[in-house]
A and B are shown apart, each in its own frame.
Chain A
Amino acid sequence: MSKSACAASSPTPSGNESNKRWDHLDMDSAWTALDVVTQTMLQKAIVDPKTVDLEKLSNAIVDQSLKDLSFCKDAGRMCYAVVQAEAQKAASSVFRRNLLTRLQQEFTAREETRNRSVQEWVCLVTFICSIFDYIKVNNAPLVALVDPVYDCLYRLAQPDALMIEEEVDCLVVQLHRVGEQLEQTNSQRMNQLFYLLRDGFLLQEDLSSMTRLLLLEILEFRASGWTLTDTAHKYYYSEVAD
């Protein structure tokens, strides 16, 4: 029902694209994490951005992302769908702007957030990286987010953070997702990050074996050009690490 409404109401050739996107959204695992109100707003925003309070929607998505780690990973894709819809159908970028403003606020307060709740901090990093991954400008990554993402990863690579499994997990997961892109935009900072990782791996005595495993894997991953050789993959992934 909504699909045909979408096709009928959008005169632009992107009507089909938004159909696909809408389908896609439905199957998104992040979708189920949202409450019904937000889901409705999101659907409407894709179909007709002008009818939705985009500022409210972006806040709802950011709020949810700070609570729910599984949501953050795919939230970027959802956000991108709205950004595209708004650009094509309303020729504006209110949603993106609000999203970025909110993100910047959260980013600025990240140390307090980390002190209050490591979970929330980890969600924040995951969300920022998800946005960086999905939202592009003319197919190029958002330059404005490059340094902030690096700042977050540097923080995660600090000795105190390496002691906390959720943070190490976050660090390596994000590097897998956006490491290559990040390096392309600024290789110097990536080099510096890896100095920290090597140091942590070698010098920090009280790291758990899991942490050391994760660090070793990411070191090899990058060394192989952001991929794993077959044998390395077998080593790390064919056995269940206890």
Chain B
Amino acid sequence: MSAHQKYKYENDYKPDENRNKGASRWSHCRKRGADGSLRKSHSVEEPGKCSQSSRRPESFTTPESEGPVSRVKNWGDEVEAEEMRSNVRRDMHRYRRRILEADFPQRERKISSGSSDSRDSRDSKESPAKGDIETDETTLIRRQKQINYGKNTLAYDRYIKEVPKHVRQPGVHPKTPNKFKKYSRRSWDQQIKLWRVKLHAWDPPAEEGSDLQQIEEIDLGEIMDFELDVECSSNTESHCPTSSGGSLSLAEDSFTGTPKKMMKIEDAEMS
């Protein structure tokens, strides 16, 4: 059934990964840091901001801390969490309504974009209507966060401006995974990864940050095998597209090292 048991992922399975304004290898693709502020350069983390620590589960304690009981909450974080929860609930109501409408079409079923799209290969449109949708809030929030990372990119911005929904073709154009459909953890994570890789085709041409590129290239070389290393280093002027919010398991996923040029060829092959 689901691969939940196999995966040890927590909501914040990478507590050490700096998702804030700190420079990550793909900072220049992201238009803003995790706190929402527009990214200018490698700015310092805001003082008093403890969103990293507050993402840990409540039971997490370090020897120096006061323990799980008296952990002071950050209002900013709390409100954002509230917002995410209520957004997810609202989305669920909307989705349920859309599913019901799809079951009783007034007119010819139009190909709607978004989560209720019946063109999705896997599930028939019946199963969602029968209540077989993902309802676990923790899961939905985790998925929404992953989606937000992807949407919070210049590539996504450029993509939605360039390709309006009615023009999009399945397979060619990236489609946001539907968080309400039942998928195993592994399947979902893979969908997200593939989606984000596809979005990189709309990355803006890199103007600056070549210094950072040098450093990132070195890191990349250490993790990836030699072949990919050679590919990337031959593209020092353009960036190596990779997903920024996901895991750093580059070695496993050969997609993540694909330079931009190769992506275009891929796209051409698919059409």
Contacts and interface: CB of A to CB of B under 8 A. Distances in A.
Interface residues of A, number: 23
Nearest to A141: B82
B80 A97 contact: yes
Contacts of A96: 76, 79
B90 interface: yes
A144 B86 CA distance: 14
Interface string B1-35: 00000000000000000000000000000001001
A98 B46 CA distance: 10
A145 B36 contact: no
Q: How large is the interface on B (under 10, 10 to 19, 20 to 34, 35 or more residues)?
A: 20 to 34
B37 interface: yes
Interface stretch (A72-80, A99-107, A186-194): A99-107
Given A137-B82, A144-B82, A94 B36 contact: yes
A140 interface: yes
A143 B32 CA distance: 26
B83 interface: yes
A142 interface: yes
Contact of A142 (B35, B73, B74, B79): B79
B75 A103 contact: yes
Nearest to B89: A138
B78 A92 contact: no
B78 to A, nearest CB: 4
Given A100-B79, A101-B49, 20 more contacts: A54-B37, A93-B80, A93-B83, A94-B38, A96-B79, A97-B35, A97-B79, A97-B80, A101-B75, A101-B76, A103-B75, A105-B48, A137-B83, A138-B86, A138-B87, A143-B78, A143-B82, A144-B73, A144-B75, A145-B75
7 contacts: A50-B38, A92-B32, A137-B79, A138-B90, A140-B82, A144-B73, A148-B75
